[in-house]
Every structure is written in structure tokens, then in C-alpha cells.
Structure 1
Amino acid sequence: MPSHLSADHPAAQPPGRGRVDALISQARRLKGEVDAVRRDAQGDGTDDPHGRWQRALYDLALHQLEDLDEHLAQLRDGPRPEPAPRSPVPAARTASACAADRSLLSRVGSAEWDLLTDAATWSPELYAILGRDPATPPLTLDELPSLVFEEDRPKLTAMVTGCLVDARRIDGEIRVVRPGGEVRTVHMMGEPVLDADGSTASMWAVLRDVSELRRSRQAVSETRDSLQRHRQQEQAEHRLAVELQEAVLPAWRGTLRLPHHGRQSLDLSGRCLPSTTSTQAGGTWYDALELPGDDTLLSVGDLTGHGPAATTGMAVLLGALRGMAMTGTRPGPLMTLLNRLLDTTAQPALGSAVCCRYRPETRTLVWAHAGHPAPLLFRDGTGRRLTPPDGVLLGATPGAAYGEAEEILETGDVLLLHTDGLMPGPATGPVSGDRLLGLAPRFAAAATAEDCLRVVVEELGGSDREIDGCVLVARVPAGHGAP
């Protein structure tokens, strides 16, 4: 019904159809564009918290635009005619059919209550919203609370009293119970109608069914909360994984000084380059350890997975590697034992690793690998990949045996160990090694292992990488042993 403040006001006329038609066209065009974007965004079928939150927002926007479209159409066409009271109703339009009506035109209805005669007038849309048979008489203000959810009745009473007694506008939401027990949320707006002497003669109201809108907003709120919890969990897991990494891995990013009593047997430098596409810490490691007899253990590796589980598994694996190396276990048998360890863990995992044992007196490097890129050796401005012995991924084949290879190093040689994740993108293996081998001339001009590491970081540090990458550089200084 039209809004009015005085009983003798003329009824407002619908605005010009042309202007409203233009607004309707804009609303429908925008609705189509939003729906197209929603379909494109949902094309990958993702169901993570962020995806669910996006879908809820798209649905909410479409509900809003659908309401706007239909409200503008009602504005253009004006109020629908009132039904004749108690007229026969076809079977197809019984109360149950009205209750099933979900058309948007039924979402906005109007009513007026005459305080002098206690008569009430409802629009057909209001009957549909409340699930009432249009053949039944409209409810009076005294009867209206019988349709309202019990907890919301005091709110309705306060709004109506404020309107009739203090001439305040009605603007609030209440829940109504339709026949069959269905609860709908209705937004009610209204004003008092004054007679010639300023007394309240009646009250009019517009009631809008906002149930779908509220459900959409609730979905947005719930998915937003779920997304926030998911992010907080990710942040907590990331902090835990990083703290575990920092507790286990060498506390250095650059030159490493092992606690030798004499001179340093190798000039060492290393660094981990984090993934640019993931915030989760993985099971990647690099390590250098002083062994009895002045030998040095060098290792790099990677355990599948991300988060605390992968970092914990890496810590267990690295701890076992260090412990067995301290007992004098050679790299080949050491890999065999690590494979057995992964094969018997409760949480199945795969790992790759390379393990080198360097003896400074003879400049001998003995190494083994498990499905891992072979070390790269740089000498006199050229580089080559060491020929790998037999070795499969850790945890892939029960009872696998691992071979060993031996290399004699020379003064000034640079040995580079790295994980697959060091290289940007999915490139691994020989392709990754070829790119690193191209750095040989720059390594020849470097005076220290840290200078060599700086070359690697300058070349690869700014690249996009899908997983964490580690690099460990060892340079043979002058005056250590003789072949």
C-alpha cells in the first residue's frame, strides 16, 4: 500500500515506467554479469573454506539483485488489486499451494489496520508471505501476534505500541510461523496514519520476506568464520613447523663454522629458499655435522608433505641420520637403515636424500643417495654432475640396498648439494642441474663458499618455486690433506 502520513493525503502514483524500466534493465544486466562471474569462479570445483565463502557471497549478491529486480517491477506496476473477501479459491491456490509459493513477487506485501473500526486490509502478497488462505479474513492487530514466533512477540508489541502511541516508525524484523511449522523472517516497516485533528486513525505497514537473504548472510558469516579459523589453524601450524625447523636445522644462513679443534676442513655455506606459492613449511633440510676423526657429514633431503607432520618426520629422519653417522655408519648402509625406518613408521611417507662423508686427510668424498639429485662438482671453471650409485626413494621399496660412490677432491673444488625445490617451477633432475652447472665460471671467480652461495641466491632467489628449496655449498680450502 502507498505510504502516507495523513488520512486525507492522496495516494502516491507509480513513477514513470520508462525510468523504472531502465533501472530494471540495469538490475537484470548486473544480475546476469554476477551470475556469469559466479559460474566462472566455481568452474574448478574447489571446496576449500575460501571457495565456500566466495560462493556464499555470490549467492547473497544474487539474492539482493533478484529482490531489487522484483521490487522495481512492483514499483512500476503499482499495488496489486485487493482480493474480494471470502471469494471461492480454486484448489490449485489453497493455503498449502500458497505455502509452496516461492516467487519473488510474494516477498513484499502490505497491510493497513483501522483503529476506529478494527478492520484490517492485506495485500495478496502478504497472504502468500504468511502462508494464509486469501479467502480467510486478515488478522487484526490483536490477532497478529498469534503468527509470530514466541520469542519475537514482545518485539512486535513494542514496535506497534511505539507506532500507535508515540507515532514512531516501525522498522524491524520478526519471525513468523507459517502453517505446517515453517519459520520465515519478515522485515516490517510502517507508519501511523493521522486524521484531520492529528490523532492516529490507522497504521499501515510493508512486510518483506527476507528469509532467503538472511540465510545467505548467515552462510556468508559461517563461511567467513570457517575461513578465519582455517587461516588461524594454518598460521599456528606454520609457526609450529618453522619453530621445529629452527630447532633442528643449522642455525646459520651463510658461512658455517663447525666446532673443529683444528682448522676448518671445509668452507661451508648453506641456505633454505622458501616456496613462493605456499606458506606451509615442508620437510626439506640441509645439514653439516662434524664426525669423530675430523670427518664431515653433509646431507640434504626432502620428506613428502607439508606442515607439522612433515617437519616432525624430517626431524626424526635427520636425527636418525646424524646418530648413525656418529657411530661410523657409511653413507650406503646409512641410507638402507633410513629406508627401513620410513618403511616401519605409522604414517607412510616418501623421502629423498643425499649423504656425503668427507675425509680431509685424503680429500675423499664418499656419498650415497636415495632418489635425489646428485651433487655437482665445480673445478677450474667447469662443472659436472657426479655419477650416482644405485638408490631409490626412501620408503618406496622395502629392503632396498643403496650403493656408494667415491670422489677425490682437489684444493679449490666446490661441491654443491641441493634439493629439487631449489629450482623454480616443476623442473627437476638433469634440467635443474644444467642450469646450476652454468654458474661454473662465476664459482671460479668466488673466493669463499659464501660467495658461491651468493651467486646461487642471486640467480634463483627471486624465482617462483612451488616448494621449499635448500642448497649447501662446500669448498675445499688450501692446505688440507693430500690425495
Structure 2
Amino acid sequence: MAQAAPGPPDPPAPPELTAIDALLTRQAREASRHSFQLLGGEAVRDAALTAPELPVDPPDWAQAVADASTEPTVVFAPVTDATGQVVDFVDVAVNTAGRSLAARSRPRHGQLMTVSQPSSETSGLFAAMRRVLATGEPVTGRDWDATLMVGGEPLHRRVRITATRHRGHVVVTFDDAARRHELISDRVQEQGLIGWGEWELASGHSDWSPGLYVIFDRPSDAGPLTLGELARRLVPEDRTAFRVALEHVMSGLPVELDLRLLLTDHTRHIRFTLEPLRAASGPVWGLQALVRDVSKSYLRRVELDAAVHAAERRRQRADAEARVAARLREAVLPSHPPEITVQGVTSAVAYRPAETRSSIGGDWYNVQPLPDGRVLYALGDAAGHGLDAVARMAALRGGLAGLAHTGQPVEALTAWLNRLTFDSGMDGTATAIVCRYHPDRELLRWVCAGHVPPVLLRDGKARLLDDTTGLLLGVLPKVTYTAYELPLRDGDTVLMCTDGLVERRDEDITEGLSGLLCAVERHAGLSPQQLVDTVSAELLPTPQEDDSCLMALRRGKPAASDRAWGD
């Protein structure tokens, strides 16, 4: 009968998986070699394997005491020499949980502790049991790093022991999970971890918590994955990171990293905290992993990162626009010299820009001597913030400066300024006060287009000149404005401000105007420049969220030093 042809050979494993397997094999070999050295070499192992069981006669109460505990529990009888000195211990009873633990070792009674488990002497366990027997003082919650001899091979365990004296015997309870659970529980509470695993390299033994089976979509009866098998479940691009992490752990360093786990129908994002397991000296003999499924938080982080990047791009655009707006405002709105006097009227301005770039507004002012001897005073505010508001401000100020040379009355200038705002193509409105001083008649004529009305300070008393204002600029194409007139007396001061000085979100503007009148009266004796600076500092909030402009015009007798000041 013909034999079937052999099938094709299995494809070679990916290089990273081969490297991970080689790394784990080398570390397991080194850990095993070091463990044998700790135990005393081949002779000690042979003695543990071949030592005969001692004939023991367990007390009738021993098994009942062992069975009373749910943790692995062993009852030890002392072994004495001719002088009565305790030279060893022999097990005489073990409970069901202890048999499960002892299944990794020799399950029979009558084993000498120092022979079957030579590390009991070097670790101090034997000495501790002798003290318990001699003094009656129990040992509770002591951590024991044990290198057990199981079937002739070393097995590292970290256990917590409780030892008590009972009727001349020592009852020892071994909890190989308590210390680990305590450590892991602390980390779980701190970091929200939901699974743990522990791998011993030399024996290949591993323990998983129930949560780790859930994370890996693995039935609990299938048992834990080895580290090599775990590596094969990772996204191929993440295997290099896993190998590098294992190299760090094998050198004694803890590592935290995020990896992607390939499941049947989706990819799961897993955060591993890997910690080396090692004795006080010698190589790493195992590792412990604290594991958390961060798939949901990963997606939220991706969404958050995208939102942060989008916000950063918006912020950069806003900053760039704010820089351009600030430069444009500086170019269009020259600084006002302190207390300049033209035709017997001294003017002063306190202009305070907003403290944040995003709040750059469209406040503007103009003091413009005209060829016919009259003087134009104007102050306004283009609605909004940013580059658009500054652009409207520049159009309004520049347009009015040109229109003023026509010699037309202020009501006509304001109507033209309204049409300019309406026809500019920029979606926005503005407010303004347009004034002209007639030195031959000592008369001030003004129009208020949706703006805060001016204030008259006369004989130490301040009042609003008129609370009737015309329509905002830019609402309708054709608007008729009414001009008001005020004969100026020597010492009269007229103040005009933008709403940033008197308007607050949490109060009515009438409260702001009342505060302005009170502040002006309190500081009536100051010079025009001192007056606007002091009142602005007193009324403006901190931080200042909007632009503010306060202009003062004070009538005095014309002096020979009067000089013109243009744009």
C-alpha cells in the first residue's frame, strides 16, 4: 500500500516570535541553574528525591486541625535528637488545599522538612518554626520567598505563612496568593487594573486571575497562556515592543507599555505593567503582569487628541489673526500726545486695549484740526472682535478723516459714515460720536449714532448731555441724524467713552454710567490727561475683557503756544 506524500513543511516563525522564545529559554535556563546552586546542587536534589519516608503516627486531632482551614495547612511534628534538641520537622497531616499545593511536591506523609525542602533552612522558615515550638509565640503574616524542590526541579513561590504551636506540634498555613493579591489589590485600586498574571520561567508554571481570562477571551478551563503564546496573540507590529519590554524585565526593571491584542473579531488595546520576580540575589526567575483593558479609554484618547489638535489649530489661527489685528490697529490708530491744545481746547485720551488677543476690539478715536480752523473730534466702536472689527474700525476712521474735509455739518458726516458702514460689505455694525468744535462761536456740535452719550463736567458737577441717540451705523442705508449743540464755557470738560469703560455683563449699563459720573466728579480737579487716566484705572475691571477709550475736551483761553495736530 502506497504511503501518502508528506505535506509541506510548516512555515518558519516570524523573527520577533523566535527572538522572544529564545529570550525566555535563556532566562529560564539561567534561573534554573541559579536555583540549583541555592539548593545545594545535585547531591541535595538526589537526597530530596531518594530520602525514605519516616514512620509517623499522626495524633487523632491532627487531621481535624488541618481540615479546619481553607488555606493549604500542614501539621508538623518535631524531630529531636538524643538530647531533646529539635533537629527537623516531619509532616503528619495535610488538608485538601494543602494536597493541591503538595501535588507539585511529594504528597506522602513522613517527609523531613530540611531534606525534602532544603530552602527551609536558608530562608529562615525552619528557625522560625523552632521558635514557635519553644516559645509558643505564633508567626503571623510572614512573607517567605521559597525555592521549593518539586519532582527534583526548583519551583519559586512567594508565600505568606502563619505558624502556631498546638499540643507540641507546629501548624503551618501556606497562602501562596495572599501576598500577591495584596500587592495587586493595591495596584488595582490605584490604577483601575482588572487582571493579573504570574509566570515562572524555569518550571513554566503560571497563574492567572479570572479577570485576565476575560481580557483574553479565553475559557478558564483552557489554562493560562505561556508568554510565547501571548506574544503570538499580539498584533505583529507590537511584538518588537513586547520583546524589548521582556528584555528590560529580565534585567530587573519594571516596564509599562500598551499593546494590541488580536481577538477573533476585533483588536483590544491592553496596558501591561510587567514586574520582575527575583530573590535578593540572582537572576530574575519570573514575572508578574498587571493588566487593564484600555480599549475604551484609548478610543476616547484618540478622540480627545483629535479635539486638542483641532483646538490648537484654531488657537494658532486665532493668535495669527490677533497679531495681524493688533499690528493693523497700531498702524491705523496712532497714539494721542498728552494734553494737546488746539483752538483753546485741550484734548486727552486714555486708550486701553483688551488684555487678551482674542478680545481685540474695534474702538477708535480721532482728533483732526481742519483747514477752516474748526476741529473734528470723533470716537467710535466697530462691533465684534478680531481682524474683522479692526478692519471696520480702520474703514470708519479713515473714511471720516476724508469726509471731514468736505466742510459738511456733523449730521451729514454721520449719515455718510452710516452709508459707508452699510456698503462696506463687512457684516457688522458700529457706533460713533462725531463732534466738531467751532472756535469762532465757542460751540461744540455733535451727533451720537447708537453710542454712549457724552458727559459734561461743569463747575464740579457731571451729567449726561443727552440720552437720545441715533441709529447704529450700518443698520439701514439711509438714516437722518440730529445734531446737538453745546456752548462751551471756560473750564468746561466734555468726556466721551466707549462701552468697554461702563458696560459689564452682570449689571445694567445705567449703573456703569452712574459710576462714570461719580468718578468724574471725584477727580474733577485733575488735568485732562490725569482725569482720563485716573477714571479709566478706577472703572476698568481686572482682567480687562474689552477695549476701552476715554477722551476729554477741556475749554480754556486760547494761548500763544496752541499748535495744530493732525493725523
Would you say same fold, with TM above 0.5?
yes
In 2 relative to 1, CA 251–170 (structure 1 residues): closer, same or farther, beyond 3 Å?
closer
Deviation of 1:217 after TM superposition, in Å, equals 6.0
SS state at 2:415 partner: helix
The 5 A counterparts of 1:60-459 are: 67-68=188-189, 107-112=194-199, 115=202, 122-160=208-246, 168-169=252-253, 171-173=255-257, 174-191=259-276, 203-211=286-294, 212=296, 231-252=315-336, 254-256=338-340, 264-275=343-354, 280-387=359-466, 391-423=470-502, 425-426=504-505, 431-438=511-518, 445-446=525-526, 448-457=527-536, 459=538
- Whole-angstrom distance in 1 between the partners of 2:240 and 2:519: 79
- Whole-angstrom distance in 2 between the partners of 1:183 and 1:3: 37
- Whole-angstrom distance in 1 between the partners of 2:282 and 2:528: 94
Amino acid at match of 2:502: M
In 2 relative to 1, CA 126–338 (structure 1 residues): closer, same or farther, beyond 3 Å?
same
Deviation of 1:149 after TM superposition, in Å, equals 1.4
- Whole-angstrom distance in 2 between the partners of 1:275 and 1:365: 31
Q: Percent identity?
A: 28
Amino acid at match of 1:436: L
In 2 relative to 1, CA 266–395 (structure 1 residues): closer, same or farther, beyond 3 Å?
same
In 2 relative to 1, CA 334–3 (structure 1 residues): closer, same or farther, beyond 3 Å?
farther
Deviation of 1:225 after TM superposition, in Å, equals 5.5
Deviation of 1:209 after TM superposition, in Å, equals 1.8
- Whole-angstrom distance in 2 between the partners of 1:437 and 1:466: 22
Tell me the equivalent position of 1:11. 159
Deviations 1:210-248 (A, max 9, x none): 525656666676666666555555444433332222211
Deviations 1:55-99 (A, max 9, x none): xxxxxxxxx9xx426x7xxxxxxxxxxxxxxxxxxxxxxxxxxxx
SS state at 2:440 partner: coil
Larger radius of gyration: 2
Tell me the equivalent position of 1:475. 554
Amino acid at match of 1:321: L
SS state at 1:112 partner: strand
Amino acid at match of 2:414: M
SS state at 1:406 partner: strand
SS state at 2:286 partner: strand
Deviation of 1:463 after TM superposition, in Å, equals 6.8
TM-score by length of 1: 0.68
Amino acid at match of 2:195: V
SS state at 1:240 partner: helix
In 2 relative to 1, CA 176–285 (structure 1 residues): closer, same or farther, beyond 3 Å?
same
Higher relative contact order (CA 8 A, sep 6+): 1
In 2 relative to 1, CA 434–140 (structure 1 residues): closer, same or farther, beyond 3 Å?
closer
Unaligned runs of 5+ in 1: 28-63, 72-103, 258-262
The count of residues paired between Structure 1 and Structure 2 equals 391
TM-score by length of 2: 0.59
Amino acid at match of 2:255: D
Tell me the equivalent position of 2:104. none
In 2 relative to 1, CA 469–415 (structure 1 residues): closer, same or farther, beyond 3 Å?
same
Deviations 1:269-293 (A, max 9, x none): 0112345788621111222112221
- Whole-angstrom distance in 1 between the partners of 2:237 and 2:297: 21
Deviation of 1:473 after TM superposition, in Å, equals 0.6
- Whole-angstrom distance in 2 between the partners of 1:305 and 1:241: 12
Q: RMSD between aligned alpha carbons?
A: 4.0
Tell me the equivalent position of 2:48. none
- Whole-angstrom distance in 2 between the partners of 1:8 and 1:158: 24
Tell me the equivalent position of 1:58. none
- Whole-angstrom distance in 2 between the partners of 1:206 and 1:215: 23
Is the 1:238–1:281 Cα contact (8 Å) retained in structure 2?
yes
Is the 1:5–1:191 Cα contact (8 Å) retained in structure 2?
no
SS state at 1:373 partner: coil
In 2 relative to 1, CA 408–145 (structure 1 residues): closer, same or farther, beyond 3 Å?
same
Structure with higher strand content:
2
SS state at 2:359 partner: coil
